[in-house]
Amino acid sequence: MPVRTAESSGFCFGVKHAVETAHRMLADRDDKVNSDNLVMLGELIHNEIVLKELTEGGFVICNSASEVPEGSVVLVRAHGVPPSEMRILEEKGCSVVDCTCPFVSKIHKIVAKAASEGKNIIVTGGKGHPEVLGICGYAEGYDVKVAVIGSVGELEEVPFAPESSILVSQTTFSAEEFNKICAIIKNKIANNCIFDTICSTTENRQKEAAKLASDSDVMLVIGSAASSNTTKLLGICKSRCVRTYLISDVCDAERIVAEGLVHPGDKVGITAGASTPEAIILEVVHTMDENDKKTNQDQEQTDVSFAEALESFVSVKRNTVVKGEITSADADFVYVDVHDKSEGKIPRKEFAQMPDFDLEAALANHEEISVHVKSIKNSDQGKDILLSILMVESEKNKKIVEEAFNNKTPIDVTITKVVKDGIIGVIGGIEVYIHRSQICLGQPEELESYVGQTMTIRVTKFDTDKHRLRISGSHKALDADARKAKADAIWSDIEVGKTYKGIVRSLPNFGAFIDIGGVDGLCHNTDLSWQRISKPSDVLSIGQEVEVTVKSFDPETKKISLVYKKEEDDPFYMIEERIPVGSIVKGKVVRLTDFGAFVELEPGVDALCHVSQISSGKLDKPSDVLSVGQEVVAKVTKIQTEDGQTQKTKISISIKEVQPIDPETPDEEIEYSEADAHSETPDAEPAVEEAPVEAAPAEDKPEE
């Protein structure tokens, strides 16, 4: 029962990106970087196992934007959503993490452009599929029609003339069916209006599945019945291989084997939909491989003759470690004399995984090595003895790793590949799984960036149960130990007013968490800048190195409040020396109220000129003589600071004492009669009653 797997199986780029993003969001919330509601707008992936994992981790699934609570952090799946849904999220003040697949976004742009030009839209795909609903949504608001068809037969039901239309496709639609539709419609629609938007990964997946199914006795399609691309794969395979089965996980595969649906000698093909995690695919492949091995072993045991059984009673036995001398090599194998009737052979590729082993020197010197006997097969030409040097090295390194686990000593591993939710590190052929949450403190980089690097880890799990070695490691644990030591040092001598250099780790809406060396302190927005800011990213960025001062701390709760803004940056710093009482200043009117005018003397420094201190006479309101933006000259009359808090400093000024601004008096025409002229006595001046100066109201008006 040979088992073959289609190369293009499992997560496509868009789904993989969306799932990895979802796990990062959960990790961020676990690290208290984000305490908001995590909402998944529609099912992120058509796979019950992945969805269960994400919802148990903290995600809530909402089927429409109208169901999403205000202020939530919303993950938009790879299928995309209509613009109307995005607008609702924006109105609700939600933070949107858009994981729409780039291939889907391209379709959105094509449809939006065509709709704006008045062209009708034909979409090949599944009616009601989330991706199709999102595509159709980009034609909303335009005077155009949209039709969704799933086959050639439905083309005749399109309620408008194709000549005025464009044709696009759901990314996971059958390439075979799409080509049939294009063959009919190409004479009615211009070539530049037919867009083959089927994802290349989907097309390759379907072609590989078709080819594999044509040459298989049994075909297993791994995925969910709710997944569009999986059901299309199922149909393609069934049309070429009658014994095609849809399975969701390894349990289904074991059931199919147990029910006898797979026969000895059957060629088994395996493919998977875009929503199927790699781990599930590997489990199914492993199960079918094990079944194949068991079948072969049973067959071999049946064929063994009594004479061959006698031959097995020699010094070299299967699953033993023996010593032998390297004698020769060819392109595929290295041959070893194990002191039996026949030489044993080691696959040459094993030595490629041992860079420190000098094979050429070993061949020249006929070096003695220890090898593991993997199998012994008898033939007319003698024995075929398959050996392994890696398995011996693996056992040695397994003991090294086990000792490291027992003694909690660090080891160095080389990162070789990325797997589900983590990376694999290798030491001497032993694989160690490192979950993404154990790579570092905080959020790790893109996992691919670690491949090829050497990482120091602590072995956190060494499990040999069920004849399968499971080893896990953590680099984060070592970081945590180092961080704890630094934290202890910080808490031992921390004091208010002490200055530290730190790194900005995260920027929630209310402030910045800054690592001052093993301890995170919070710098509230009000302590970031003397100016009013809307968000901390206006001042700082993640990863930035800053200098902060301890404002307060609590050893019991392990909380530290920090200050980033500097005293010398305070607009009111040493204000009485820079603008002393009695000094003449220039400024610009920035705001007018009924009780006075606020004048900006310096950036961030406003002074109040009371209405009684503007003009030499009485004013009803400052706007009678002043306007916003007008420059004035005034005298500083008072500077008052409350409780030593510079931000509560009040400065009073007087325009009147320097250059009063009086309202203009309109010229009046006065008629004089001759009698009036004779009656005037120029030498006699009438007594003028001096108008009393109105007392300036107390400056207790509210200031903004």
- Catalytic center residues: 131
| CA atoms of 627 and 31, how far apart (whole Å) | 52
By the 8 A CB rule, do 515 and 570 touch?
A: no
Q: Of all helices (H) and strands (E), which one includes residue 16? A: helix 13-30
For residue 41, the surrounding DSSP H or E stretch is strand 38-41
* Mode of pairing for the β-strands spanning 244-247 and 218-222: parallel
- Give 697's contacts (C-beta < 8 A, 6+ positions apart): 595, 610, 611, 612
Coil vs helix vs strand at 263: coil
What's the rounded Cα separation, in Å, for the pair 641 and 572? 10
Question: What are the angstrom distances between the C-alpha of 254 and each of 47, 161, 222, 249?
Answer: 19, 52, 13, 9
Tell me the H-state helices in 216-323: 228-238, 250-258, 278-303, 306-311
244 φ, ψ (degrees, to nearest 5): -105, 130
Task: Identify whether the C-beta of residue 178 lies closer than 8 Å to the C-beta of residue 149.
Answer: no
> Do 462 and 474 contact (CB within 8 A), yes or no?
no
Please tell me the distance from the alpha carbon of residue 345 to that of residue 334, in angstroms, as a whole number. 6
CA atoms within 13 A on the CB side of 564: 26
Question: Rounded to an integer, what distance in angstroms lies between the CA atom of residue 352 and that of residue 326?
Answer: 16
Q: Which helix (H) or strand (E) holds 646?
A: strand 645-654
Which string of b and e fits 364-383 if b means at least 16 CB within 10 Å?
A: eeeeebebbbeebebeeeeb
Place of tokens 């590190």: 425
* Sign of the C-alpha dihedral computed for residues 43, 46, 49 and 50 taken in this order: negative
β partners of residue 60: 39
96 neighbors 74 (Cβ within 8 angstroms)? yes
The tokens for 120 are 């009708």
For residues 60 and 37, is the Cβ–Cβ distance under 8 A?
Answer: yes
Pull the structure tokens for residue 26.
Answer: 């959960």
**Which among 56, 33, 53 has a CA at the least distance from the CA of 45?**
53
DSSP result, 319-386: T-EEEEEEEEE-SSEEEEE-SSSS-EEEETHHHHT-TT--HHHHHHHT-EEEEEEEEEEEETTEEEEE
Q: Is 157 exposed, middle or buried (0-12, 13-18, 19+ CB in 10 A)?
A: exposed
Distance CA 101, CA 333 (A): 46
615 near 663, Cβ under 8 Å? yes
